[in-house]
Amino acid sequence: MTTPELAARLGALTSWHADWKGLRVAVFGLAMTGFSVADTLAELGARVIVVTEAADEHYARLLPVIGVELVEQPGIEVAPERLTAFDADLVVVSPGFPPSHPLLTWAESERIEVWGDIELAWRVRDKVLRADGTPAEWISITGTNGKTTTTQLTATFLAAGGVRAAPCGNIGVPILDAVRDPGGFDVLVVELSSHQLHWVRRGGPGALHPFSSVCLNIAEDHLEWHGSFDAYLGAKAKVYENTKTACVYNKADEMTIRMVEDADVEEGARAIGFGLGVPGPSDFGVIEGILVDRAFLDDRHHTALELSTVAELRERGLGAAHIVANILAAAALARSFGVETGVIHDVLETFRLDHHRIEVVTRHRGVEWVDDSKATNPHAADASLRAFEPVVWIVGGLLKGVHVDDLVRAHAGRLRAAVLIGQNRDAVRDAFRRHAPEVPLAEVTTTERGLPVMTEAVRLADGAAEPGDTVLLAPAAASFDQFAGYDERGDLFTSAVRGLVAGDSGEGDAD
C-alpha cells in the first residue's frame, strides 16, 4: 500500500542521485526491457524481485550476478506468495503486460504505484550529463506504423549533423541502457509503443517533457491489449504532452491533428505539420516533386528549403508514399534541433530501410518478390499495397482484435490473387468472401511452424503470379502463431523465394 510517506518518497525520486537505496521494487517481466529495469534498480541500490510467467534464459542467469531474485510462474492467475511477502513499495512493469494482467490487477487492489520503464528512465536521465551539465533531450516518436524508420532516420540526421544521438526504446535498445551509457548523448530519439505510453503520466514528477514529438498516424491496432480503440488512442496521444519545442503531426490524419490541439504543451511549442501535398507555413511537404521545409526558416511565408526530391528517393528504394511521409516527419524533428537541410539531403543519399520493410528480395521471370513482414497490422499493409499493382498478396497471422474487411475492400481491384496464412485465416477468408469474392484464394493449411509455412505460401504465390506482378508479403497481422517474430517470418520468406529461384529449371533468370 502506498502510504503518504511512501508517496512523498516516490515523488522525490526524480534523479539518479536521489535516495533509491532499500526501496522494494517488483519488476514484472524478464526479457530485454525487464532486465534493463532490474539492472538499473539494482545499480541504484534498490531491493528488486522479478516476477514473470516465462523468463528469458540468458537474463535469468544474469539476475543472481546483480543480486536480483527471480520468481517464474507460468500462467499466473494470482500473485505468487513470494511476491506478496516481498511487500513491494513500487511495481515497474514491462510493456508486454496488459493492464488486465492478474499481476497488475493485484497491484491495483493493493494500491501499489506502477511505473513503466519509460518513466523510470525519465526520472534517472541525469546519470550522464551533457557538456552543459544538463541531461540529454528526448525526441519522442510513436504511431501505428513507421515508428522504427522515422526513429532511425531522425537519429541518423542528428548524428550526421554533429549531434550525439541514440535511437532507443521500442526500437530494440532499452532506453535505460541508453540513459546509463557512460559516453552520454545530446539527444535520445525514443521510439514509444502504445504499451509503453499507457504507463506514461501526463503530469507530476514522472511526466515526460520531450524536446519534440510526433505521432505519425493512427489506425486500429493492439485492441486486445488496450481493450478498446479509445484507450489505444488515448495512450498514443500522451506523446505530445509537455512537449517543449515542436509537436509534429500528420496533416492527412485528423486524429493526430486533434491530439496536438488537445495536448498540454510548454509555452512556445509549435505545431509542425507534414504531408505529401503542398505545405503551408510551418509545414513540411512536397512541391512539384521536391521535399521542402517551410517551418524552420525566417521567411517561411514566401520561401521553402529543399530537402530532397521524390525522384532521388525513388532511385534508392525510398519512394513509396508512406516512406516519403516518414522522411518528412523525421526531417521536421531533426530540423527542430537545428540540423541543416544539406545534412538531411546527404543522409538520404545513403540511407536504406530496415530489413523486412518493403524490401525487394528478387525479380524472377518477370515477377517482383517483396518482403514487408513488418506490416503487422492493416494500416501498414494498406500503405504497402498502395505501392504495387498487380499484387499476389500473402496475408494473415494473428489479427490482434482488428478486422481486415476495409483493407480487402480497398485493394480488391489491384489483387491478382491472395495466399492466406496464419491462425486467423477464417476471418481473412470471410472478409474476401464478403468484399472481394472475385479474387482467387489459396490457403496454407499446414499445422507446422516456420519454413514449411513459407515454402508452401511461396509455391502457391508463384503459381498465381504472372509477369509484371508483385508477390507481396504484407500480412496485416502479427506473426507469433507460426513464427518467432516478424523478422523470422520475413527471413523465411526470403529463404523460400531463393529456394524457388534456385530450383527453377532454367525458365528464367533472377535479377
pLDDT digits 0-9 by tens, 310-331: 999 998 889 989 999 999 999 9
Please, are residues 87 and 1 in contact by the beta-carbon 8 Å criterion? no
Query: What is the C-alpha separation between 28 and 155, in angstroms, rounded?
Result: 30
Mean pLDDT of the chain: 94
- With both helix axes pointing from N to C terminus, report the angle between 147-160 and 341-348 in degrees, rounded to the nearest 10: 120
Q: Is the pLDDT of residue 214 over 80?
A: yes
Dump the DSSP string for 437-482.
TTS-EEE------SHHHHHHHHHHHHHH--TT-EEEE--SSB-TTT
What was the pLDDT predicted at 509? 38
Question: Which neighbouring-strand residues pair with 363?
Answer: 368
CB atoms within 10 A of CB 329: 29
What was the pLDDT predicted at 464? 96
Nearest to 452, CA basis, from 502, 495, 393, 398:
495
Question: Which neighbouring-strand residues pair with 290?
Answer: 287, 309
Question: Which neighbouring-strand residues pair with 320?
Answer: none
pLDDT digits 0-9 by tens, 12-23: 999 999 999 999
Q: Is the pLDDT of residue 507 over 70?
A: no
Helix (H, G, I), strand (E, B) or coil at 30: coil
**Please, which pLDDT band fits residue 63 given cuts at 50, 70 and 90?**
very high
Grid cell 531491493 is found at 47
Please, are residues 138 and 208 in contact by the beta-carbon 8 Å criterion? yes
Element at 284 (helix H, strand E) = strand 283-287
Nearest to 41, CA basis, from 20, 70, 56:
20
Q: Is the pLDDT of residue 429 over 60?
A: yes
Q: Is the pLDDT of residue 356 over 70?
A: yes
Write the CA distances from 73 to 30, 60, 362, integer angstroms.
12, 13, 45
Q: Hey, what amino acid is at 510?
A: A
Residue 172 or 393, more confident:
393
Write the CA distances from 227 to 224, 387, 400, integer angstroms.
5, 32, 11
Element at 196 (helix H, strand E) = helix 194-198
Give, in degrees to the nearest 5, the angle at Cα 238 between 325 and 353. Answer: 30
Q: What is the dihedral of CA 184, 153, 215, 315, to 10 degrees?
A: 180
Classify each residue of 147-186 as buried b or exposed e, where b means 16 or more C-beta atoms within 10 Å of its C-beta. bbbbbbbbbbbbbbbebbbbbbbbbebbbbbbbbbeebbb
CB atoms within 10 A of CB 53: 17
What was the pLDDT predicted at 226? 80
Q: Hey, what amino acid is at 28?
A: F
Query: What is the C-alpha separation between 5 and 3, in angstroms, rounded?
Result: 5
Q: Hey, what amino acid is at 372?
A: D
Question: Which neighbouring-strand residues pair with 71?
Answer: 51
Query: What is the C-alpha separation between 458 and 73, in angstroms, rounded?
Result: 39
Burial of 249 (0-12, 13-18, 19+ CB in 10 A): buried
Please, are residues 182 and 128 in contact by the beta-carbon 8 Å criterion? yes
**Please, which pLDDT band fits residue 511 given cuts at 50, 70 and 90?**
very low
Please, are residues 46 and 20 in contact by the beta-carbon 8 Å criterion? yes
Give, in degrees to the nearest 5, the angle at Cα 203 between 253 and 35. Answer: 85
pLDDT digits 0-9 by tens, 159-176: 999 999 999 999 878 999
Nearest to 197, CA basis, from 221, 163, 179, 181:
221
Query: What is the C-alpha separation between 412 and 416, in angstroms, rounded?
Result: 9
**Please, which pLDDT band fits residue 221 given cuts at 50, 70 and 90?**
confident
What was the pLDDT predicted at 189? 98
| Four-residue CA torsion sign, 94, 144, 160, 248 | negative
What was the pLDDT predicted at 295? 98
Query: What is the C-alpha separation between 407 and 410, in angstroms, rounded?
Result: 5
Query: What is the C-alpha separation between 435 and 239, in angstroms, rounded?
Result: 36
Share of the chain above pLDDT 90, in %: 87
Q: Is the pLDDT of residue 225 over 90?
A: no
Write the CA distances from 467 to 386, 457, 460, 504, 508, integer angstroms.
19, 18, 15, 15, 11
Query: What is the C-alpha separation between 411 and 145, in angstroms, rounded?
Result: 19
Burial of 110 (0-12, 13-18, 19+ CB in 10 A): middle
Is the peptide bond preceding residue 390 cis, with omega within 30 degrees of 0? yes
What was the pLDDT predicted at 29? 96
